[in-house]
Amino acid sequence: MKLRNNSGFTLIELVIIIVVLGILAAIAIPKYQDITTEAQEASCRSSLGGLRSGITIWYANRAVKTGTASWPALDSLQRAGTVMEQSIPANPYISVDSLADSIVVGVTKGAVVIGGCGWAYNATTGEIWANTVTDGANDW
């Protein structure tokens, strides 16, 4: 008498496994869809923090050296080694490399230059912000 070795999964067991995996995927995927947006926001906030620190340090150094505090002019801000040790960090929301690290002036906060530069700067107040059309990006 020969015994059959019936090892393996039945069709019903395989269908149940596929359904369970589908349910797990349906739960997990929405949790990770916003990761790109969160990473862009974190990168933008970090870049703004560095830019604002450099501008504030410039302001304080000018006050100590010359006795008159002043915010850096746009050309000083864009020249590496003057205000920032390295070049201006890129705005992660701008996809065009040539515009992502550039700065526009004469824009009021909240008004975005469509297709324009990555950052907006007010040289009279030292404010710098992201020049993007995404919700909330101008509020930082």
Give the predicted TM-score (pTM) of the model: 0.72
Phi-psi region of 105 (alpha: psi -120 to 50; beta: other; left: phi over 0): beta
Q: pLDDT tens, 53-108?
A: 999 999 999 999 999 989 999 888 888 888 888 888 888 888 787 787 888 887 77
Q: pLDDT tens, 11-54?
A: 999 999 999 999 999 988 888 877 888 888 899 999 999 999 99
Q: Are 138 and 84 in contact (CB under 8 A)?
A: no
So where are the chain's domains?
32-139
Sheet holding 127-130, edge to edge: 103-105, 119-122, 127-130
Q: Which residues contact 101 (CB under 8 A, 6 or more apart)?
A: 87, 88, 89, 90, 91, 118, 119
